[in-house]
Amino acid sequence: MKSFLRKRAVASAFSLIGLVILVFFLSRLTGDPTDLYLPVDASAEARENFRNIHGLNDPLLVQFGNYVWDLLHFDFGMSIRRAEPALDAVLRGFAWTLQLAVITMTLVTVMAIIVGSLAAYRVGGIFDRLATFFSLIGASAPDFWIAIVAIVVFSVGLGWVPTSGTGGWEYWILPIAVLFIRPFGLILQVVRGSMISTLSSAYVKTARAKGLKNRPIIFVHALRNAMLPVITVIGDQAAALLNGAVVVETIFGFPGVGKLMIDSILQRDFAVILAAIMVTAFAIFVMNLLIDILYAVLDPRIRY
């Protein structure tokens, strides 16, 4: 198990290095920050001073070398727009995104497991058909479209919740609801399919023949063995949730790392772009390692 985790860590480290190289050079293609942060009639001397201060006059490879050197010393650079360490701005935004992701995925996982298990118990019944129908719709609908429709209906039309921003609990309802729909539909389908296969196995039939009640059969004996493929999908959807939050946070004006990333791209704030990408990628890497460990806990055969 330790050897497997070490291999995953090394592979993830190489992926992170490749991501840093790619994002560094691609971000420079967005243009010169001088054109955004200085007036149109700024003198050539002012432009030169701005580039010198932010290290933009050096050749691109030298800029990259300096960035890697600073990165090895845990220095993610300064934000041009905010005049503060880029990592501070990213961690502040990531705290919002992490809260949003944890709340959403907790609700998604609990609801998908319960609904999927009950749907699998009576395949072809009314509950199963309704659950399958709505899960397919949810899995197919794009987040940005759901977000826009939700704002038009529930914020503009009915006036039940705010359109954007942060504040009390009412500001969290629409972002959580929009992010909930797609992973719920996908995970529910996997839970249902895995539980159908597990409930038809011999040991479940034996438990039923012994007179064991339905609830422990479904949620104790069958569910544990059906969870391995479900965990994989939960991990994938959790990672997709961090990426998908970019669109949803921007639409709802939610101050998470996704909105910060989009704003930084538009503002050519290179240090913040790279810091946001690296923090998000590291979070996904840690989450994948935790899923691998959970695999080994649920199925001891994987440890060998």
Q: Residue 85's beta-bridge partner residues?
A: 78
* Domain C-terminal end among 28, 49, 72: 72
In 3-state terms, what secondary structure has residue 78? strand
User: φ, ψ for residue 56 (rounded to 5)?
Assistant: -95, -5
Band (pLDDT 50/70/90 cuts) for residue 40 is confident
Does residue 65 fall inside a structural domain? yes
pLDDT of residue 302: 59
**Same-domain status, 134 and 267:** yes
Q: Say which CATH number the domain at 287 has.
A: 1.10.3720.10
Percent of the chain with pLDDT over 90: 0
In the block, tokens 């009412």 appear at 170
Compute and round to an integer the Cα radius of gyration of the chain. Answer: 24
Report yes or no on whether pTM surpasses 0.95: no
State the pLDDT at residue 244.
Answer: 65
Angle subtended at Cα 110 by Cα 214 and Cα 171, rounded to the nearest 5 degrees = 150
Instruction: Say if residues 143 and 247 touch (Cβ distance below 8 Å).
Output: yes
Task: Summarize pLDDT for 138-148 with one digit per residue, the tens.
Answer: 888 787 788 88
CA-wise closest residue to 120 among 46, 222, 239: 222
CB 229 within 8 A of CB 194: yes
| pLDDT at residue 204, rounded to an integer | 64
Q: Does any domain span residue 77?
A: no
pLDDT at 274 over 70: yes
> How would residue 68 be classed by pLDDT, with cut points 50, 70 and 90?
confident
Question: Could you tell me if 263 and 114 lie in one domain?
Answer: yes
Rounded-to-integer distance, Cα 163 and Cα 171, Å: 8
DSSP string, 28-62: HTT--THHHHS-TT--HHHHHHHHHHTT-SS-HHH
Q: Are residue 21 and residue 62 in the same domain, yes or no?
A: yes
210 located within any domain: yes
Asked if 38 and 173 sit in the same domain, the reply is no
Q: Judge whether residue 184 has pLDDT over 60.
A: yes
CA-based max dimension of the chain = 88
At residue 219, the pLDDT reads 62
Are 227 and 92 found together in one domain? yes
The mean per-residue pLDDT over the stretch 92-101 comes to 86
Q: Name the residue among 72, 114, 97 with its Cα closest to residue 245.
A: 97
The pLDDT tens digits of the residues spanning 193-206 come to 887 777 677 666 66
Residue 80 belongs to a domain: no
pLDDT of 296? 66
Alpha-carbon distance 82 to 256, whole Å? Answer: 16
On whether residue 81 sits in a domain, the answer given is: no
- Please tell me whether residues 255 and 214 are part of one structural domain: yes
pLDDT digits (tens, 9 = 90+) for 284-302: 888 777 777 777 666 666 5
Domain count, the chain: 2
Q: Looking at residue 218, what is its pLDDT? A: 66
- Assess whether 209 and 62 both reside in one domain: no
Closest-CA residue to 188 (of 137, 224, 144): 137
Q: 277 and 214, same structural domain? A: yes
Q: Is residue 241 part of a domain?
A: yes
Closest alpha carbon to 223 in 304, 118, 122: 118
Of 27-41, 131-145, 170-184, which range is least confident?
Answer: 27-41
Please state, for a pLDDT cut of 70, what percent of the chain lies above it: 85
Residue that terminates a domain, selected from 48, 72, 96: 72
Beta-carbon contacts of residue 231 (< 8 Å; ≥ 6 apart): 291, 294, 295, 298
179 and 244 in one domain? Answer: yes
105: domain range? 87-303
User: In this structure, what token pair is assigned to residue 269?
Assistant: 């704030």
Assess whether 93 and 27 both reside in one domain: no
The answer as to whether 78 is a domain residue is no
Neighbour count for residue 244 (Cβ, 10 Å) = 20
Average pLDDT on 126-141 reads 84
* pLDDT computed for residue 229 by the predictor: 77
Amino acid making up residue 133: F
Residues 232, 146: one domain?
yes
- Would you say 235 and 186 are in contact if contact means Cβ atoms under 8 Å apart? no
Question: Would 79 be classed as within a structural domain?
Answer: no
Q: Which segments of 38-169 does DSSP mark as H helices, in order? A: 44-53, 60-72, 86-121, 126-140, 143-150
Using the 3D structure, point to which of 18, 40, 72 is the last residue of a domain.
Answer: 72
If we measure between CA atoms, which residue out of 110, 108, 106, 86 comes closest to residue 98?
106
Beta partners for residue 78, in sequence order:
85
pLDDT higher than threshold 80 for residue 44: no
Report the mean per-residue pLDDT for the chain: 79
Q: Does 177 lie in the same domain as 143?
A: yes
Reply yes or no on whether the pLDDT at 215 is more than 70: no
